[in-house]
Structure 1
Amino acid sequence: MSREELEMLDTQLSGHFSGVGIAMRKVKNEIMVVQVLEGTPAQEAGIREGDVVKEVDGRDVTAMDLDEVVMLIRGPEGTTVSLGIYRPSSPELLRFEIVRREIQIPVLRKEVKEGGVGYIQLTDWTEDADQRIREALSELEGEGARSLVIDLRSNTGGYMDPAINAADLFLRQGVIVTSRGRVPGTDREYQADAEASWDLPLVVLVNRGTASSSEIFAAALRDNQRCTLVGETTFGKGSIQKIFRQEDGTGIRLTIARYYTPQGVNLDEEGLVPEVLVKNPVVGEEDLQLEKALEIARTST
């Protein structure tokens, strides 16, 4: 992995970074702002969704890759970055001087849906993902949730330990996952403890983009008859990898073990097949998968 790739991964999995608080996407060779996070320097400065980033600190970024632009905008907390913004409603390039702050990545979103169904969407298994889920469960229960949907669609993984700890929040007994290392004597079985934070009905929502730590979590609950799995067959990544950091800031990613579900299955290239298979339409915004998950959760209370 290059230094830039490693820095981006570290930021993604830490759950926070120092920057201005915008999400960007490359659209027709333009760096477009697709989201402005609430309560961030970018929002306070007046950056809007749909703005196009043309310059960063006086440098033309039109021909740059998205990752390069992201790294230019991020920087030490308290420092200033200058953005040159094109906005269709303005004939001239708009310039913003923005002081960077620590930004919390919104990896978890929660709400209580109709019928008393709690809903948690998790986008990454960050270092503190299990704690965020624990807090969300407590808040949802206090808001009257009587069942729960956890949405892991397109969650490609992250740290393994938070996924194991999160699965333990829903289990009173049973195997969560087993890892088998390449070196003799490194095998390990992870068991649930006797306590659980959520005993009410649970649905886990997955798709082809659900992988790695997300599959560990989903398989642990499914194999222990603790949830109903809804959606599409998952990606199928059954390996545990470790990044060995080099002195020059780059990293080498190596497979050090394989993991096995409570039923003893390695998911490499196979994935988890949900009990309830649902595909979303290719065209349109209708979310049939979420609708089915909510329906099952409502009727399970």
Structure 2
Amino acid sequence: MRRRRLWLQVFLGILVGCGTLLLFFEWEFLAFGLGKEKGFENWEPLFETISLIREKFYSEEPLDEGKLLEEAIRGVLRALPDPYARYLDPEDYKIETSDTLEGAFSGIGIVIAIRDEKLTVVSPIAGSPAERAGVKAGDVILAIDGESTLGMSLDQAVKKMRGPEGTKVVLTLKREGVPEDITVEIVRSIIKIQSVSAEVLPEGIGLVRISEFHGRTADEVQKVLTDLIAQGVTGFILDLRNNPGGLLSAALVTAGFFVPYGEKLLLVEDRNGKREAITNFIHPLVSTPVVVLVNRGTASGAEILAGILRLAVHAPLVGEKTFGKGVIQEISPLSHGGGVIFTVSKYYLADGTDINGQGLIPDVLASGEDEQLKRGIKELKKLLKDHALAS
């Protein structure tokens, strides 16, 4: 009888122990809010690993769970087939959302992406310390302050290049056609992006430069176009060189100033392959000929705008092949104040053209900023002559 009781106690003890362990793991899963949710069963080993580390891991240093969390998020994003995916810690999230809406930040002034597993400059921002130091679109960043960028995530690279005003960062670059590596020292500064500028060239040609699309860009473009039209300009050159994109909505509103009301602007494809057409929802301001200047630093929203104008109003593109970014990212907040950025959809031009990884081929190829502007003026004069004859 005693032996039976002993075995019964042992058996009950095992059950209680297993129950405690199961409850422990269940609490861990529920703490993350995912473990028991439908579709997340395959993620249970991750939560089990975290629980085991909490229970058993030995180290003479205290366990930094915040660091573990951030590295886990980076690892998941790095495993995505998405060169634009990156993690934002709470500080970076605040900066990034401020950049997107207000167009001001501290750093060296470049937009980067992972291309062919290499940290690549999409474009330097006009007037930025990076541009003044000679950084060019397409440059591959080999090292930041002597640290190799091989395997470095986008958010880590951005964090290393940002810093207090007046401090320095050294970039080691690889440039196509240049055999030797290039080293540049850049002094960080507070960069307030002037996204739109304009001037009137001889013979009444309006030159409008857009360096990036943020929350105020569309209003700034509207004001500039209205002012130039009031001055009697005869045609427009839209300079989108080294424009890395930005807010898609701002690029589409800008397109609306040139494109007929109701015109199809582009197609957006979601993760399920469903495509939705976006049409122009505003009345245009410009009815005169337009030429668009582009280069390899023209990307994303700027490429969208260039492609729309070529299709909708037959605006010739002058310059170099564009970067080729035809996907759309979204910034999503996380519960700890940080966030993640990853691709949520893809766009096609209204005729179905896919520019992702391809870029736009200009109608008129030209290299060098001065030569591109000269060719742009020449093309616009041809259009103005044809426009006058048609009238």
TM-score between the two structures when normalised by the length of structure 2: 0.53
Match of 1:14 among 92, 96, 101: 101
Task: Tell whether the 8 Å contact from 1:171 to 1:193 is kept in structure 2 after alignment.
Answer: no
Q: Describe the SS at the equivalent of 1:149.
A: strand
Q: Within the alignment, does 1:258 sit opposite 2:258 as a pair?
A: no
* Aligned residue in 1 for 2:266: 177
Q: How does 1:185-204 map to 2 (within 5 A)?
A: 187-193=275-281, 195-204=283-292
Opposite residue 353 of structure 2, the aligned amino acid is: V
Opposite residue 226 of structure 1, the aligned amino acid is: H
Unaligned segments of structure 1, at least 5 residues: 27-33, 37-48, 51-61, 73-99, 281-285
* Aligned residue in 1 for 2:379: 296
Q: How does 1:124-143 map to 2 (within 5 A)?
A: 124-143=212-231
Match of 1:154 among 242, 245, 268: 242
CA distance in structure 1 between the partners assigned to 2:97 and 2:377 by the alignment: 34
Residue deviations 1:129-178 (CA, integer Å, cap 9, x gap): 12211111110111221110111111111011111111111111531011
- CA-based RMSD of the aligned residues comes to 3.2
CA distance in structure 2 between the partners assigned to 1:71 and 1:148 by the alignment: 38
Opposite residue 268 of structure 2, the aligned amino acid is: S
Task: Tell whether the 8 Å contact from 1:243 to 1:251 is kept in structure 2 after alignment.
Answer: yes
Displacement of 1:272: 0.7
CA distance in structure 2 between the partners assigned to 1:269 and 1:69 by the alignment: 35
Sequence identity of aligned pairs in percent? 27
CA distance in structure 2 between the partners assigned to 1:18 and 1:265 by the alignment: 34
Unaligned segments of structure 2, at least 5 residues: 1-86, 111-125, 134-144, 147-158, 168-189, 385-391
Larger relative strand fraction: 1
Displacement of 1:69: 1.1
CA distance in structure 1 between the partners assigned to 2:299 and 2:212 by the alignment: 10
Opposite residue 265 of structure 1, the aligned amino acid is: T
Task: Tell whether the 8 Å contact from 1:151 to 1:205 is kept in structure 2 after alignment.
Answer: yes
Displacement of 1:247: 2.9
TM-score between the two structures when normalised by the length of structure 1: 0.68
Q: Within the alignment, does 1:223 sit opposite 2:306 as a pair?
A: no
Q: Describe the SS at the equivalent of 1:9.
A: helix
Task: Tell whether the 8 Å contact from 1:2 to 1:249 is kept in structure 2 after alignment.
Answer: no
